[in-house]
Amino acid sequence: MRSCNFKLLSIFFFFFILANPLNAQQIQNAVSMEIERDASFQKGSLLSLVVVIKNTTPDKINGKINFTLPKGLRNPAAQGLEIEMLADETRHIPVKFIIEEEAAAGSSAIVCKLIDTSGKLLAEQSTNHVIGVNNTLIITPLETSIYRSSDNEPVKVKIKVSNKGNIRQNITLVCKFPDPTNGNLFLEQNAEIAVKKDSIFTFTYLPSKQLAKQSGYSVRISAFRNPSKEMFGNTMVEVQNIASVQQYQGDLFINFLDEAQNQITSTYRRFGGGIDFYQLRGSGGINVPSGYLFMQGNVAVTNGQEIPLITNTNLVYRQQQNEYTIGNINKLLEMTLVGRGAEYSHTFEKNQKVEVGFVDQNYNLIEQDGWLKNGYGFFAKGMLNSNNSSRNASASYLYRYDPFEKAKHSFLGTEVNYDFNPIWRLNAKVNGAMSIYEVQGFVKPSFAGETNYSGKIKNFNINGNYYASSDYYPGNRRGSMQLQQNIATNIKNHNLHANVIFSDFSPKFYSFETQQKSTNNRIEVGNRFPKFRDFTLNLLYQYQDESSNSYNRLLGNSDNTAQKMFANRIVEQFSWVNNASRQSAVLGLETGIVRYPMQTDNNFQMKINANYNYRNFNINSTFQSGSYYLSEYAFSSIAGNGVNYEKLSLSLFYTNNFVNDKVNLNTGISYIKDIVYGKSPSAFINAKYNAKAFSTFFNSSWYNYSVGSLSNNTLTFEVGVTINLQKTILNPDQKSTIKAVLYYDTNNNNQYDPGEKYAANYMININKVALQTNADGMATYKRVPYGTYFLKQFTQDGWYYDDATFEVDRHSYRLLIPLHQSGTMQGKVSFAYNATKVVDFQHRASGISFSIMKNNQLVKKVYTDDDGKYISFLPIGDYVITIDEKSLPANTFCEVTSYDIALKAGEIVVVPEFIIKVKEKKINTKKFSN
Helix (H) or strand (E) holding 552: none
For 661-671, the pLDDT digits (tens) are 899 999 999 99
Dump pLDDT digits (tens) for 306-344. Answer: 889 999 999 999 998 999 999 999 998 999 899 999 999
Q: Are 815 and 764 in contact (CB under 8 A)?
A: no
Looking at residue 250, its pLDDT comes to 65
Q: Which of 860, 870, 849 is nearest to 913 (CA)?
A: 870
User: What is the C-alpha to C-alpha distance for residues 283 and 727, in angstroms, rounded to an integer?
Assistant: 11
Residue 121, SS3 per DSSP: strand
In the chain, the percentage of residues whose pLDDT exceeds 70 is 93
Beta strands in 321-390 (DSSP E): 322-331, 337-347, 353-360, 376-384
Judged on CB neighbours under 10 Å (0-12, 13-18, 19+), 688 is middle
Whether the Cβ atoms of residue 781 and residue 771 lie closer than 8 Å to each other: yes
Closest CA to 227 of 196, 190, 267, 195: 190
- pLDDT over threshold 60, residue 742: yes
* pLDDT tops 50 at residue 269: yes
pLDDT at 183: 66
Banded model confidence at residue 687, pLDDT cuts 50, 70, 90:
very high
Parse the chain into domains and list their residue ranges: 2-131, 137-241, 517-644, 735-821, 825-918
Q: Does residue 259 surpass a pLDDT of 80?
A: no
Tens digits of residue pLDDT in 515-567 = 889 999 999 999 999 999 999 999 999 999 999 988 887 777 767 788 899 99
**Within this chain, domains 137-241 and 825-918 share the same CATH topology:** yes
Instruction: List C-alpha distances in Å: 152 to 205, 419, 770.
Output: 11, 54, 18
Query: Is residue 6 predicted with pLDDT exceeding 50?
Result: no
Q: How far is CA 494 from CA 485, 488, 538, 543, in A?
A: 20, 10, 10, 22
723 — pLDDT class (breaks 50, 70, 90): very high
- Burial of 858 by CB count in 10 Å (0-12 exposed, 13-18 middle, 19+ buried)? exposed
CATH class of 735-821: mainly beta
How many CB atoms are located within 10 Å of the residue 256 CB?
A: 8
**pLDDT grade, residue 78 (50/70/90)?**
low
pLDDT of residue 338: 92
Q: How confident is the model at residue 646 (pLDDT cuts 50, 70, 90)?
A: very high
Q: How many angstroms separate the CA atoms of 387 and 377, rounded?
A: 27
* pLDDT tens profile 491-528: 989 999 999 999 999 999 887 777 889 999 999 999 99
**Contact indicator for 864, 845 with CB cutoff of 8 Å:** yes
pLDDT value for 39:
63
- Domain 825-918: what homologous superfamily? Immunoglobulins (2.60.40.10)
pLDDT of res. 22? 33
Q: CA separation (Å) from 857 to 141, 393, 639, 852, 853?
A: 21, 49, 91, 8, 5
pLDDT band at 860 (very low <50, low <70, confident <90, very high): confident
Among 816, 892, 788, 899, residue whose Cα is nearest residue 851: 899
CA-to-CA distance for 58 and 736, rounded, in angstroms? 103
Q: Which DSSP category does 40 fall into?
A: T
CATH topology of domain 2-131: Immunoglobulin-like (2.60.40)
Inform me whether the pLDDT recorded for 705 exceeds 90.
Answer: no
Mean pLDDT of 81-108: 83
Report pLDDT for 17. Answer: 40
Integer Cα distance of 740 and 785 in angstroms: 16
Whether the bond between 227 and the residue before it is cis, its omega within 30 degrees of 0, is yes
Contacts of 226 (CB under 8 A, 6+ apart): 170, 171, 172, 190
| 905 or 176: which leads in pLDDT | 176
Q: Say whether pTM exceeds 0.75.
A: no
Structural element, H or E, at residue 15: helix 2-29
Please choose, from the candidates 235, 232, 234, the residue with its C-alpha nearest in 3D space to the C-alpha of residue 135.
Answer: 232
pLDDT, one tens digit per residue, over 670-685 is: 999 988 778 899 999 9
Look up residue 481 and give its amino acid.
M
**898 vs 42, 635, 878, 889, 912, CA distance in Å?**
33, 94, 13, 18, 10
CATH of domain 137-241: 2.60.40.10
How far, in Å, CA of 433 to CA of 430, rounded? Answer: 10
DSSP type of residue 840: P
Distance CA 632, CA 590 (A): 17
Which pLDDT score is estimated for 257?
41
d(CA 135, CA 539): 53
Are the beta carbons of 831 and 916 closer than 8 angstroms? yes
Compute CA 313 distance to the chain's CA centroid, rounded to the nearest angstrom: 33
Residue 118: C-alpha distances to residues 13, 85, 114, 512, 927 (Å): 28, 16, 12, 128, 20
Mean pLDDT along residues 64-79: 78
